[in-house]
Structure 1
Amino acid sequence: MSTNYKELASQIVEQVGGQENIIDLVHCATRLRFRLKDQELANKEAIQSLSGVAGVNPTKAQYQIIIGNEVDAVFKEIINLGIANGEHDTQLVDEKPNATKEGLFSKIVDTITGCMTPMIPALTAAGMIKVILSLINTFNWLTPTSDTYRILDIIGDSAFYFMPILLAVFASRKFKVNTSIAVIVVGIFLHPNFTGWVASGDPISFLSLPVPGVIYAASIIPALLMVWVMSYIEKGVDKITPKMLKILLNPTLVLLISAPLALLVVGPLGSYAGEGLASLIRLLEGQLGFMMVTLLAAAMPFIVMTGMHHALTPIFLATYAATGQESLILIAQICANLAQGGAAFAVSLRSKNKGLKQVAAASGVSAIMGITEPAIYGVTLKLKKPMLAAAIGAGVAGLYAGIMHVSVYVMQNSIMAALALSGEKGTSNIINGLIMMALSLGASFIATLVLGFEDPAEEA
């Protein structure tokens, strides 16, 4: 039976405390992310009981409601009810004075998640274009020198190349910075004249101060740091400019201060931080890589439950930008996602409850395609033992991947990663990657059948 999105939207709004309790709303691939004035007014049990809701995950920063693949349809119906769209609203909203203040760690995670989550569709689409190119190469459908191939390659690279600008847009909303100025400042990093100047090797200076020659394409940390710094620059400039000249002086002074600071200090520091992070990950992979992948793969479902998995995105993006491959976070996500799929498929096979069989089968397909919340909240976590089985399966596959140093060369965390294994490590990486994926599905499937689960009775 199809979901009545309008009715579900009304029910959700009512159960989170009504429209007057909602500051704004955004969504990611599977979750509605509310900012509420008072989370105590939300009825968690009532929300979880709604048909179409897979689960609820309140955090200090957001009240998250897991919907699944249909989240966009529900989001649109809620916005149609007059709820503020947090993706478009850049105005500060006063919360209740007694609202719980989030800690530093929660603020950092919320900030990174808020900036990275809206970028996921673009990164996913670009990653799929790269998968298509991998297929083209594998079956020799086009030559790499053909115009069609080169255009597809440009399309696939564009999201990664212009990632700093994408991040500037979303970070400006998070830090309450003028979006157009943020885009201009970060865009300087990618200006063809500047990148050509850096590539030439000629010295660069501004007011006799040396400008480090850094290539910022596909970088994350420089743009994020710069927009954060701009939030303080804007406030400082606003304090010193006269009211009658603010419309002229504010943007001009912010740009004149921010742009040189970006090139001279913040951008290089962010770039070095990203390179250092990538080097640290490579070092850890070399010493204890098999243990890291094992533990991260087994723990990934619980990381997803907290919503912190998006906070890992800058880490694997920094590694990918520096090396062109990734052997830890994406590998762990592949193992965990396929393991959730394997466990859900086992539940679908074993259960005699028709409703559960249908939900488990659908969520299993979703999980192997990289979206695990429906499987986690709708099947494995609810039944408990399948969640343990999925963690076991992911850990087994992660251990094998870590020992064999499996890498992906295209940013994929689903079954489509089978086409992302071809790279400098050659055929052995493809074979070991496919074995890893088979272990993820197979070990969790078998573990679920062995451990069993309490099959809920069919509803009358």
Structure 2
Amino acid sequence: MQLTETNNEVDLSVRTPSRSDSFSDKLQGLVDALGGNSNIVNITHCMTRLRFKLADESLANKGTLEAIPGVKGVVLAQGQTQVVIGVDVEKWYNALSGVSTSNDEPVIEAEKGKLFQNAMRIVAGIFGPVVPAIAGAGMLMGLLSGLIATNVISESSDTVYFFRSISTAVFFFLPMLVSFSAAKVFKVNEYIALAVSSAMLAPKLVDKAAALKAAGEVPELTVLGVVPVELLNYGGAIVPAILAVWVLSKVTPFVDRFVPSSAKPVFTPLLAFTVTSTIVLSLVAPAGMWLSNGAGWVVGSLLEISPTLTGFIFGLTRPITIVFGIHHSMTPISLNNFALYGKDLLMPIMCLGNLAIAGATMAVWYKQRKNVSKEQSSVTVGSGVTAILGITEPALFGVLTKYTKALFMASLAAGIVGAISVTIDTHLTSYILSSVFSLPAYLASGTQNFVQAVFGVVGVFALAFTLTMLFVDVNDK
């Protein structure tokens, strides 16, 4: 989950009276190392990182930040100062959320000449909060498939019908989840954004399209006598939803300028919703579907040209994308693949990357265990275990970034096994978190697919472990 805090005026000391002095000292040290309260524009967090937008990034002291107990690493990327905490990140965020900030600028602030960084920040800002919801629904679908495949429960039972229905609903209404998150990024009213995305999913329009198709007619309406609206099914469509909220962020201030102050509470939402929905359904959403199909075509073409090379590249770069905090860029690609093809070959590589990180970390632990303190040894092995469970930041920033050769070995192992995974068509049919607990989801496509997935995670762990043991000297960082 990712939250934002941009305009609270509550002093840090007020928010932490019940906490231990040591924790309060850590928090104060963190704020001081970032340049003080006045230098913090806003604070967000994802599953393992605190993400700070600073007024002056040069005031942040990376060395001081990394020396704070509990901080596992610091990344300066995408115009953000990312402080890696791990599983306790929400505890830190809740304590820090009262830090007064210098202004109420948008969480996602465009910077000239930084197209890639801006795009990655938008993707992370939108999909970071959505991932837990879709991962939970995807895991439910995967568990159902596993129980059905092992004959624990009948596919025709009411239980399967019920749980499959509620898990599938999450992906059908995904545009609404994405639009709510995008509204926070683009700084518009979240509920009007939900209204626009619900208009895209209007059952009456879906029924009308089906009726027109059944009658042999073009599924299209003419609104106001001149505006053509193509009736498409936007269930699960994420690109049109994001574009819709972006349009809303432009339409809302425009129409607000023409509404008298006394009428703004009623007429600004009316005009914003009506105008945006009309523009979106007549032009923007169909264009978004075209972009989605185009992106799917590009990925599909790469897989057709060389599935092995595609798998190798995605696997090789997976650990690096996590280090720089841009790993969420894979999420819309995989979701688009699910919508277009009903399966995705790239998400299994995410899991392979995590297990490769775990394997390299455990090898580092094995090589250093007799030469470091018991506390350091336990930190390393604990980081390896959490990587197996799907949380890789402690292993990456606490261990592998200190041994860059080990990080390369993890990347190489993920690339090699990723190439094999794509070549033999190991795939998923729903979005899940990338950990060993996700393996039952592979049963949705049969026992062979499940066996391939198991061999993949075991193989990549073993390969990363072996390569690190052979080529990494823990005395040479």
Q: What TM-score, normalized by structure 1, do the two folds share? A: 0.90
SS of aligned partner of 2:273: helix
Identity of aligned residues (%): 30
After TM superposition, the structure 1 = structure 2 runs for residues 77-88 of structure 1, keeping only pairs within 5 Å, are 77-79=95-97, 81-83=98-100
Matches within 5 A, 1:372-411: 372-411=392-431
**Offset at 1:5?**
4.6
The answer to whether structure 1 residue 340 and structure 2 residue 357 are counterparts is: yes
Residue 218 in 1 paired to residue 236 in 2? yes
Change (3 A) 1:449 1:95: closer
Q: Is residue 2:300 matched to residue 1:278?
A: no
Q: In the alignment, which residue of structure 2 is the partner of 1:67?
A: 85
1:244 matches 2:255: no
Q: Which amino acid aligns with 2:131?
A: I
Counterpart residue number, 1:155: 166
Partners in 1 of 2:276 and 2:147 — Cα distance?
A: 43
For the residues of structure 1 that align with 2:163 and 2:339, how far apart are their CA atoms?
19
Q: Indicate whether 1:331 and 2:348 are aligned.
A: yes
- Residue 135 (structure 1) aligns with: 146
Paired residue for 1:422, among 435, 439, 443? Answer: 443
Give the superposed CA RMSD: 2.6
1:58 aligns to what SS in structure 2? strand
Matched, 1:144 2:155: yes
Mapped contact 1:392–1:443 kept (Cα < 8 A): no
The count of corresponding residues between Structure 1 and Structure 2 is: 447
AA in 2 matched with 1:164: P
The separation in 2 between residues aligned to 1:443 and 1:93, in whole angstroms, is 44
Say if 2:377 is the partner of 1:357.
yes
CA distance in 2, matches of 1:279, 1:402: 17
* 2:74 pairs with 1:53: no
What is the alpha-carbon distance in structure 1 between the residues aligned to residue 359 and residue 122 of structure 2? 33
Contact 1:294 1:332 in 2 (8 A): no
User: Compared with structure 1, are the counterparts of its residues 128 and 236 closer, same or farther at alpha carbon in structure 2 (3 Å cutoff)?
Assistant: same
CA 102–74 in structure 1, closer or farther in 2 if over 3 Å, else same: farther
Which string of whole-angstrom CA distances, capped at 9 and with x for unpartnered residues, describes residues 319-350 of structure 1? 1111121012x132122111001111222223
1:190-209 aligned at under 5 Å gives the runs 190-202=201-213, 203-205=219-221, 206-208=223-225, 209=227
Post-superposition shift, 1:141? 2.4
Q: Distance in 2 between matches of 1:59 and 1:392?
A: 23
Q: How does 1:432-443 map to 2 (within 5 A)?
A: 432-443=452-463
DSSP-derived class of the 1:25 partner: strand
Cα distance 1:214–1:436, how it changes in 2: closer, same or farther (>3 A)? same
Unaligned stretches of 5+ residues in structure 1:
none
Q: C-alpha distance in 1, partners of 2:113/2:39?
A: 18
Greater relative CO, 1 or 2 (CA 8 Å, sep 6+): 2
Residue of structure 1 in register with 2:3 after alignment: none
Question: Match for 2:184 among 169, 173, 182?
Answer: 173
- Corresponding residue of 1:28: 46
Deviation at residue 455 of structure 1 after TM alignment: 4.8
Instruction: Provide the rounded CA distance (Å) in 1 between the counterparts of 2:310 and 2:389.
Output: 23
CA shift digits 1:51-76 (9 cap, x unpaired): 11111111252211111111111111
Between the aligned partners of 2:108 and 2:212, the Cα distance in structure 1 is 51
